[in-house]
Amino acid sequence: MTLQDLFTHNRAWAAEMEATRPGFFTSLVQQQTPKYMWIGCSDSRVPANQITGLEPGEIFVHRNVANIVVHSDLNALSAIQFAVERLKVQDIMVVGHYGCSGVQAALEGARIGLADNWIRHIQDVRHRHSSLLESLPEAARANALCDINVIEQVVNVSVSTVMVDAWARGQSVRVHGWAFGVHDGLLQDLQMSVSGPVGFDKRYRSAIDSVQAKWTAQSQSQSEFQSQSQLQALPA
């Protein structure tokens, strides 16, 4: 596919939108009024609008490598502030994805370049939860770290000055943690939703426990499946 193809597709898409929904673009010019903000990974396999079936104007998106929200990252914080204070979004979702190269690199301690400094934040998460991760079979650790990273980033969003101020004003806005399966196209709710400044410690603990339970169960059922298939494969 060439760059010219991208323009050709764009012209066809715009024409089709206008034909099926006359006035679609002129209504977008007035104002964006998205209800949702998506904080996701830059990975090309995780496009917010397509996954959620939302149209232009319906979801405000911030993406970076491995969906990290760092307290000193003015880019992410500015996007969150704009979404909360100007657009008044109702829900913010931090969305990780399985098979994330950033999470994998953090798990392995691999050197990949400048991004090492960024991924260091996930290594901090890995260290914080090292006993949980070590309790899981090696094959499940990257997926579990993907989930845990999302939960930790939900906390980071929730304790940001933007959210603390919004909740102090009584604004209704929630933060959620989701994970996307590149292998099946499905979103999973990681049961880490925060709607105010107090009492989310309990939810945090139970979300982390659920991650451990989920990946322990998944690994057990996989190893049972494997041993059954090995038994079936044995000559009678």
Active-site residues, by number, are 41, 43, 45, 97, 100
Shortest separation between residue 67's beta carbon and Zn ion, angstroms: 7
> Which of these ranges, 56-64, 95-103, 169-177, 222-230, lies near Zn ion under the rule CB under 5 A?
95-103
User: Nearest distance from residue 234's CB to Zn ion, in Å?
Assistant: 40
x-marked contacts with Zn ion along 42-81 as a string, rule CB under 5 A:
-x--------------------------------------
Please, are residues 76 and 64 in contact by the beta-carbon 8 Å criterion? yes
- With respect to Zn ion, which residue has the nearer C-beta, 142 or 208? 142
Say how many residues make up the chain: 236
**Of 41, 105, 122, 145, the one binding Zn ion by CB under 5 A:** 41
Is 41 or 151 the residue whose CB approaches Zn ion more closely?
41
Looking at 25-33, 55-63, 94-102, 125-133, which segment touches Zn ion (CB under 5 A)?
Answer: 94-102
User: CA-CA distance, 88 to 44, in Å (whole number)?
Assistant: 27
Q: Which is it for the CA torsion 198, 201, 206, 211, positive or negative?
A: positive
| Smaller CB separation from Zn ion, 87 or 115 | 115
CA distance 152 to 157: 9
Q: At what angle do helices 115-128 and 101-108 cross, to 10 degrees?
A: 70
> Which region among 22-30, 92-100, 127-135, 142-150 touches Zn ion (by CB under 5 A)?
92-100
Cβ atoms of 67 and 39 within 8 Å: the answer is yes
Task: Please say which residue, 125 or 173, places its beta carbon nearer to Zn ion.
Answer: 125
Per CB under 5 A, which region of 33-41, 68-76, 178-186, 195-203 contacts Zn ion? Answer: 33-41
Subset of residues 3 to 22 that bind Zn ion, contact rule: CB under 5 A: none
Residue ranges in the chain assigned as alpha helix (H): 3-20, 24-30, 48-52, 74-81, 101-108, 115-128, 130-135, 138-158, 161-168, 200-233
| Minimum distance from residue 214 beta carbon to Zn ion (Å) | 19
Q: Does 142 bind Zn ion (CB under 5 A)?
A: no
- State the minimum distance, in angstroms, from the CB of residue 29 to Zn ion: 33
Token pair in block for residue 214: 């989920």
Strands 59-64 and 36-41: parallel
The correct pick among 93, 100, 107, 136 for binding Zn ion (CB under 5 A) is 100
Dihedral sign for Cα atoms in the order 163, 196, 190, 150: positive
Distance in angstroms (rounded) separating the CA atoms of residues 201 and 206:
9
| Least distance to Zn ion, CB of residue 76, Å | 15
**Contact footprint for Zn ion (CB under 5 A):** 41, 43, 100
